[in-house]
Structure 1
Amino acid sequence: MEKNDVYLWLKSISGVTDKTIEKIEDSIEDIEDLIYFSDKEIYNLQNINLNIKENIVKYKSRAYLDNIKEKLYKKSVKYVCKNHDDYPEKLRNIYNPPKVLFYKGDISLLKKNFNIAMVGSRKPSSYGINCAKTISKKLSNDGVGIISGLALGIDSYSHLGCLEGMSKTIAVLGSGVDNPLPKQNIGLSDKILADGGLILSEYGIDSKVFPYNFSNRNRIISGLSEGVIVVEAAMKSGALITVDFALEQGKMVFAVPGNINSEMSRGCHKIIKDGAKLIENIDDILNEYNLITINNVENNNNCDNIVLNAEYKKIIELIKKEGSLHIDKICDYTGIEIKYINSILNELELKDLIIEMNNKTYSLNL
């Protein structure tokens, strides 16, 4: 039996992890012969849990492997093993690299694209949502693919921003690719695939989903990426687990600063203090990798390139100075009647110069 088949067979058996496979490889001469071992030889394997040995014996047949392959085919799920040329090189040297990756979509994106990960809170503020979508879309339009985890919140908006741009987005799941979670994002996973993107997981079809799956997959998110951007994260955010993996893997870490009074900014501010690169716009990211802008489609977001009258410029400069302002404050500071302010703000929103964060509070579009 070929090694690819052995890996697929073992990974489909309950209890068998990548670490289990490594232990088996360390204890026998050729793992390709494992399926031909007698029951006694399998029970004599060292450092393997008895329940796992029992499961290996139970499913030790070519018919079981063929059944797994048939299920994969019926669900349009493909797989690539660590010993195969299509396996992403970046993952080979990370801690506990997955022996098998299951996927739907274009696996070549992992090799031909320059990809950056974006992670953050599952319950972001309107500021965080705006940052995630804007940064992701602009990076996408400059040829950078976005990798995230398909979770609610920042993950979702990072994928969506990339979909609005010109590059492809990649989702790394903590469940099987046949069972994208959360269920609310099944539509988003369909959009990613329809756009030519990629969904992948180290977990096979029909796999049980455990809470630790989602923290484990973070090593893959960072491992596949050139760097990691954190957009809004509290001190105990799972996004900081991805940061730890990124640092362990020698990857660049970026963070979007936030409101100093917000709990959702504490995690980002901590990693900035610890050495993460503070980003205010995508040039802070592109310059770090000496990337040249591929598409300058967002130039009209720079108010210096748009002809504005004095009142419009006054409001732009005021919002820029304060960071964000409620419409009432804009009226107070400018002395302009609210009916005119509303019209001006609508116009500036149409020009993508500002964005309404919530309850008539406005900030500049990044």
Structure 2
Amino acid sequence: MEEIRSLLWLVMVLGAGNPQIWTLLHRYETPEAACAALKRPDAAEELHLPAHVWRRVRDTGEAQVEEMLERCSRLQISLLWYGDAAYPEALLSIVNPPVILFYQGNLTLLREHLLLTVVGTRNPSEYSLCVEKAICRDLVLLDFVPATGFAVGADITANLCAAEAGKPSIAVMGCGLDVPYPGPNVGYKQKILDTGGLLLSELLPGTAPSRSSFPMRNRILSGISMGTFVVQAPARSGALITAEYAMEQGRDVFCVPPADLFDKRYMGVIKYLRDGAIPVFDSRDIIYEYYTSHAHMIAASALYAENRRKSGSLVMELDEKKAAAAPQKSSAAKPEPVLETVPPEPAVSDEALPEGLAREVAALLRQQTVMHMDQIAAELDASMEELTTVLTELELYGAVERLPGKQFRIL
């Protein structure tokens, strides 16, 4: 707890996101030693501190730190510091990671789930909203967790897609967690928490949003996720700052292709598509990037629903599906393109299969439709050697199909 108090003092004095905090930590090795060095009478001259920082050094004491901790406790805001085991390794690997994060909600989302940052303009077109809703609904059903900057428009749409499906999402704030900003979204904070989500900020409680706070937030937003999904962005959109951070951090960048090449509302994504961003025509364009390495974390059975065309493209087919993507006025309207998980009829009956483990595997796949080999072994307590033999037999019988990434589905 002493580390938390020392780091909190450093943040209160130097400001959240100030890289000089890391300079001091590297130089003096511990938060306590860094604080002691900063409080020395000759620190201002030795460390080249500006006058306003030196004033805060003199004016900020233990009482102010305790007052901030009490405020956090009263607001049910918890603190996570970089030395905590719960601190996400992905975030620690970025340039100038936050030394302290303030949070409310389910912190395990940062380490035990597939996170995808979703960003876009505050004024998305109807086309972009239709594409985003359909793709995000698919992704949350497959246990992806969307992370957004909680802005109006494309950001909050992703949070609401998750909430409506009863799934968690993450909102990274550009202000203190207790600050009611942005006004139109304030009521959605509790909705995110009620569905097992997470609210996150680097900024001290009570900190109002400013122009500099949003780029600071965006480096965290891209840093906690495996990739950043840009829904729509004009050339000077703040969403592109997040995409730029993602590129610098070695993360994937996904973009919805422009609806109109000559429409300035979509110009921002063209640069990233030219520079190697992954075009997204369907949710599977995102899913396929991760299911070989994270198959055990993806509810993969929905990927291979029989009624979903393998070559289908949500974006290319959007015009003919407008009636499905728009609000429905009657029960006769076409359904929205959401993945279904209805298992197909078995191609081979149990009686035609060898007794024992082969029938157990077939029965399990019939329930789950698609499973990773590791999951099958865990569920049936089978050795990998035995399971490999049985799965090969089932393939020869025509009972199962081997999919990429050591996954199998029933036929």
TM-score by length of 1: 0.80
Alpha carbons 1:13, 1:55 under 8 Å: kept? yes
Matched, 1:294 2:318: no
What is aligned with 1:136? 136
Matched, 1:24 2:24: yes
Q: Alpha carbons of 1:88 and 1:321: their partners in 2 closer, same or farther (altered >3 Å)? A: closer
C-alpha separation in 2, matches of 1:230 and 1:160: 17
What is aligned with 1:312? none
Residue segments in structure 1 that go unaligned for 5+ positions in a row: 306-316, 331-343, 355-366
Alpha carbons 1:150, 1:181 under 8 Å: kept? no
What is aligned with 1:238? 238
Q: Alpha carbons of 1:199 and 1:179: their partners in 2 closer, same or farther (altered >3 Å)? A: same
What is aligned with 2:157? 157
Q: Which amino acid in 1 is paired with 2:226?
A: E
What is aligned with 2:12? 12
Matched, 1:46 2:51: no
Tell me the SS of whatever aligns to 1:94.
coil
Aligned length: 326
Alpha carbons 1:16, 1:52 under 8 Å: kept? no
Matched, 1:264 2:265: yes
C-alpha separation in 2, matches of 1:297 and 1:345: 27
What is aligned with 1:92? 92
C-alpha separation in 1, matches of 2:66 and 2:186: 28
Q: Which amino acid in 1 is paired with 2:119?
A: V
C-alpha separation in 2, matches of 1:100 and 1:13: 14
Identity rate of aligned residues, in percent?
A: 29
Q: CA deviation at 1:77?
A: 0.6
| Residue range with higher mean Cα deviation, 181-190 or 197-206 | 181-190
Alpha carbons 2:189, 2:199 under 8 Å: kept? yes
Tell me the SS of whatever aligns to 2:240.
helix
Q: Which amino acid in 2 is paired with 1:287?
A: Y
Residue segments in structure 2 that go unaligned for 5+ positions in a row: 339-411
Q: Alpha carbons of 1:17 and 1:150: their partners in 2 closer, same or farther (altered >3 Å)? A: closer
Matched, 1:324 2:325: no
Q: Alpha carbons of 1:347 and 1:16: their partners in 2 closer, same or farther (altered >3 Å)? A: closer
C-alpha separation in 2, matches of 1:55 and 1:165: 46
Tell me the SS of whatever aligns to 1:103.
strand
What is aligned with 2:336? 352
Alpha carbons 1:8, 1:100 under 8 Å: kept? yes
Q: Alpha carbons of 1:58 and 1:92: their partners in 2 closer, same or farther (altered >3 Å)? A: same
Q: CA deviation at 1:323?
A: 4.7
Alpha carbons 1:122, 1:153 under 8 Å: kept? yes
State the Cα deviation string for residues 204-247 of structure 1 (Å, max 9, x = none).
11124211211221111110001111101111111111111001
C-alpha separation in 2, matches of 1:150 and 1:234: 19
| Residue range with higher mean Cα deviation, 227-236 or 48-57 | 48-57
Q: CA deviation at 1:146?
A: 0.5
What is aligned with 2:221? 221
Q: Alpha carbons of 1:251 and 1:304: their partners in 2 closer, same or farther (altered >3 Å)? A: closer
C-alpha separation in 2, matches of 1:213 and 1:13: 16
What is aligned with 2:283? 282
State the Cα deviation string for residues 40-73 of structure 1 (Å, max 9, x = none).
14434413222202211211x3222211110110
Q: Which amino acid in 1 is paired with 2:288?
A: N
Tell me the SS of whatever aligns to 2:41.
helix
What is aligned with 1:101? 101
TM-score by length of 2: 0.72
